Every structure is written in structure tokens, then in C-alpha cells.
Amino acid sequence: DAGVIQSPRHEVTEMGQEVTLRCKPISGHNSLFWYRQTMMRGLELLIYFNNNVPIDDSGMPEDRFSAKMPNASFSTLKIQPSEPRDSAVYFCASSLRPGLTEAFFGQGTRLTVV
Amino acid sequence: EDKVVQSPLSLVVHEGDTVTLNCSYEVTNFRSLLWYKQEKKAPTFLFMLTSSGIEKKSGRLSSILDKKELFSILNITATQTGDSAVYLCAVSRRSLVIQGAQKLVFGQGTRLTINP
């Protein structure tokens, strides 16, 4: 298995534009997590899914952020409209049996909003 | 609110020294505690701890969990420059809403620098 795959690896966009980040979890994993990492706030959990169902989105900063998981092999995180303060590295992670097995991280998407 | 607090936030030592990194937590429905190492890219898994008092060991790294006092430590002996990284502690807790779902919350991390 290739691991958790995220795309794009880097994204530079202008303020106000829509940004879509993509994630393909490890096949067979039933939990998927989206994190945002900044120097100031560390690794923040934005939302997580279990069996494609969003369980807890309390970490999503505001209505500009939305996430979907239409099937077991794909998830998106969308920011619309984007703002400079959204600049961060966004990680996706998946786990086979969270709490019992570790979560595996993708390589992240570095987002810069100018 | 779930809390995972790591200390120190930053640590600089010389090669060969032994270091101890700390992680304390306050979560409901605790399931496990995990340690990750993050260099330039994605965090990579080190240990998962579920039971108190049982040390997990991998080479020069070891970790132990105290579920009564709600903390864990990560020890690195005979440190090397390659150990320089951010070490992240995370706690997995059961969802209050959906059976079987687990939430994974991270601390701020400890930035460890090993000087030659």
C-alpha cells in the first residue's frame, strides 16, 4: 500500500479563492482525520470521520471550512473563501482501529494564501 | 474540553545526553496514548500505550504511561543528532456519540535539538 496520499503537495492561492485539498486513506482503514499544523497552534484536529460519517467537526474553524467523505477511499477539505490566516500545513491521517492501532499520516499539503 | 499538554516545549542538549519528554492529559473516555516523531514532513509513529506501568521500548527510546496520574514520559538515551525533531504526544478517546469511533488529539509538541 502506498500509504495515505494527499494532493496537492503545495498550493498557493489568492485570498478569496476556493481551495480543495484531497486525501486517499490507506485501503481498509475506517477512520480518517484532518489536521491543520501551524507554528503557533501546533497540530489541531479539524474533523474526523468513522466509516465515512463525520463524527466531530468541532475543530473546524468556521463556516468557510467544509469536509466530505463520499466513499471509503476519498475525502476532501474545502476552504471557501480562503484567507491569509488559513495558511498552514494540512495533514490527513487514517487508522484501521483508532485507539487500538496507530494513525498513519499523509505527507501534507502546504497551503499559502496571499 | 480535551487537553494534551507537553513539556518542555523546546529542549537543546548535547549528543550523548539522556532526555525525558513529558505529556499530561485530561480527556474523558481515554483509550490510548501515542507518541510520534516529526522531522521535516509527516509525523511518524513511535509508540502506543494503553496500560499503566508497562514500558514500551525501541532501541534507545522508551515510554511509559501512568493512567492514575494522567501522564506519560518518553525517554531517549545516548541521544544522536538524528534524534533532533518535534516529538508529539496524542491521546485517543472514545467518541461520546458513535460507538467505535475514536478521536485523536495532539499536544503542542516538544522541539528537541541535539547538538554535536
DSSP E strands in B1-116: the ranges are 3-7, 10-14, 19-26, 30-38, 44-49, 56-58, 61-66, 71-76, 85-94, 102-106, 110-115
Q: pLDDT tens for residues B36-50?
A: 999 988 999 999 999
Contact A107 B34 (CB under 8 A): no
Chain B interface residues (partner A, CB cutoff 8 A): 31-32, 34, 41-45, 48, 88, 90, 92-95, 97-98, 100-109
How is A31-56 classified by DSSP, letter by letter? EEEEEEEETTTEEEEEEEEETTEEEE
- Which residue, B114, B111, B102, B112, is CA-closest to B48? B102
Q: pLDDT tens for residues A10-30?
A: 999 999 999 999 999 999 998
Whether the CB-CB separation of A29 and A96 falls below 8 Å is answered with yes
In the DSSP assignment, the letter for residue B55 is: P
Taking the C-alpha atoms of residue A7 and residue A30, their distance in angstroms, rounded to an integer, is: 20
Contact A42 B108 (CB under 8 A): yes
pLDDT at A71 over 90: yes
pLDDT at B100 over 70: no
- Which residue, A30, A32, A57, A31, is CA-closest to A46? A57
What is the reported pLDDT for B88?
A: 97
Return the C-alpha cell found at A4: 495515505
Residue A33 near chain B (CB below 8 Å)? yes
* Residue A66 exposed, middle or buried by CB count within 10 Å (0-12, 13-18, 19+): middle
